[in-house]
């Protein structure tokens, strides 16, 4: 198939472009490069041997999106493009709602007009909010507790309404847990701008000497070692999950929700130790106060994706850290 990947120059997008190409699909990318570099796509082409077609365009510009569809016979869309920093979304809610919702509405309107009614959407475990017991199951009632998470929840609602109104739509809502790691080649990986918001990129920047030490937010949670537990998923497993979801929905109209996670929680200190092992060095850290809004522990119930897609994670936290370290060591300043 010919797949349009929005946000394809980004972290998860670039790994998914590679997985799609390796599965035999043709790829067209739209990205405005607000949080990425076109270098990622050049390196993906190096790894796959086939360049993806790249359009630098903003999804909030509906005519630019339409022009891309006019130029290519697109069969399906994987929609990553969006802003994703929780803290920034609290400070700049209008910016987040505008980018993530208007961008998505433009994309969906163009898809509908052009008769492309197959979409895989990047949702997030953050939609489960604070009230659900772990592990999280797709059938639980969602309710995010920050503007970023609410943009994900609202796009899920829009897509569910669309699927209910028009039975031709094939829609997958993928709720990612905590993606980390990099392609094992060390050529592509996560390249955060400014201070990393996520644990492993932060540890990696300490390991490479760009930051002094890791701040661990809270060491007195009710968890085995007192630090928060999350469900980490290797980005290549996550990318493969998109290919599996796309295969499943093709020819099967409906609205599907799948957790993409390992089904297991790992603590901050466990991840830190795994990274130290991968990098072969001690990583300085300091335990400080809890960060407001952080949940003590959550992980996925990953059984639906296994049952429906025959997909499950295959890479361990050790592999995530080894691959992340290879990328960081070879590209200390990112792209
Ligand atoms: N990384 C995570 O921890 C995580 C977890 C759950 C969900 N997600 C979601 O997965 C998706 C991809 O995340 P990522 O980690 O690869 O982030 P990323 O920032 O690396 O990728 C997002 C890409 O979208 C592009 N983009 C943003 N707004 C755009 C717009 N209006 N028009 C065109 N391009 C635009 C950015 O330039 C970037 O390349 C996002 O929707 C994110 O919310 C990420």
Condensed to tens digits (0 to 9), the pLDDT of residues 127-162 reads: 999 999 999 999 999 999 999 999 999 999 999 999
Atom 32, ligand 1: which residue's CA is nearest?
58
Confidence of residue 3 (pLDDT cuts 50, 70, 90): very high
Q: From CA 33, how far away is CA 83, in angstroms rounded?
A: 11
**243 vs 48: CA distance, rounded Å:** 16
* Secondary structure class of 20 (helix, strand, coil): helix
How close is the Cα of 5 to the center of ligand 1, in Å?
11
- What are the pLDDT digits (tens) for 14-61? 999 999 999 999 999 999 999 999 999 999 999 999 999 999 999 999
| Chain mean pLDDT for the chain | 97
Q: How many Å lie between the centroid of ligand 1 and the Cα of residue 223?
A: 30
Atom of ligand 1 nearest to the CA of 81: 24
Ligand 1 near 80 CB (within 6 A): yes
Query: What is the distance between the alpha carbons of residues 18 and 27, in angstroms, rounded to a whole number?
Result: 9
Q: Which two tokens stand for residue 87?
A: 């803290």
What residue ranges define each of the domains in the chain, with the CATH number in brackets?
Answer: 2-180+231-261 (3.40.50.720), 199-230+264-304+315-330 (3.90.25.10)
- Of all protein residues, the one whose alpha carbon is nearest to atom 20 of ligand 1 is 10
CB 11 less than 6 A from any atom of ligand 1: yes
User: Is 97 assigned a catalytic role?
Assistant: no
The pLDDT tens digits for 65-106 are 999 999 999 999 999 999 999 999 999 999 999 999 999 999
Q: Which two tokens stand for residue 294?
A: 């952080």
33 ligand 1 Cβ < 6 A: yes
Quote the strand ranges of 125-270, DSSP E.
170-176, 178-180, 214-217, 229-230, 232-234, 254-260, 266-267
pLDDT over 70, % of the chain: 100
List pLDDT tens digits, range 173-223: 999 999 999 999 999 999 998 899 899 999 999 999 999 999 999 999 999
């Amino acid at each position: 198939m010919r797949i349009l990947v929005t946000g394809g120059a980004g972290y998860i997008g670039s790994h998914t472009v590679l997985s799609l190409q390796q599965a035999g699909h043709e790829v067209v990318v739209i990205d405005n490069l607000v949080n990425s570099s076109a270098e990622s796509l050049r390196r993906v082409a190096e790894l796959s041997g086939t360049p993806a077609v790249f359009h630098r365009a903003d999804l909030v510009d509906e005519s630019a999106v339409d022009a891309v569809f006019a130029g290519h016979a697109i069969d399906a869309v994987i929609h990553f493009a969006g802003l994703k920093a929780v803290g920034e979304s609290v400070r700049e809610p209008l910016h987040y709602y505008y980018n993530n919702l208007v961008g998505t509405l433009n994309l969906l309107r163009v898809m509908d007009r052009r008769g492309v009614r197959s979409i895989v959407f990047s949702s997030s475990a953050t939609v489960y909010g604070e009230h659900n017991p772990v592990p999280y199951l797709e059938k639980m009632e969602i309710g995010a507790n920050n503007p970023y998470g609410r943009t994900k929840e609202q796009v899920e609602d829009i897509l569910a309404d669309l699927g209910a109104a028009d039975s031709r739509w094939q829609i997958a809502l993928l709720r990612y847990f905590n993606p980390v790691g990099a392609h094992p080649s060390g050529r592509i990986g996560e390249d955060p701008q400014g201070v990393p918001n996520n644990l492993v990129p932060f540890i990696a920047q300490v390991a490479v000497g760009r930051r002094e030490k890791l701040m661990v937010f809270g060491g007195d949670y009710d968890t085995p070692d007192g630090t928060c537990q999350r469900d980490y998923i290797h980005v290549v497993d996550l990318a493969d999950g998109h290919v599996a979801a796309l295969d499943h929905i093709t020819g099967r109209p409906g609205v599907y929700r799948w957790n993409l996670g390992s089904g297991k929680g790992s603590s901050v200190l466990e991840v830190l130790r795994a990274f130290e092992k991968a990098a072969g060095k001690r990583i300085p850290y300091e335990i400080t106060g809890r960060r407001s809004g952080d949940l003590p522990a959550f992980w996925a119930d990953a059984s639906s994706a296994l049952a429906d897609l025959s997909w499950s994670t295959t890479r361990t936290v050790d592999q995530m850290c080894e691959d992340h370290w290879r990328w960081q060591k070879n590209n200390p300043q990112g792209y």
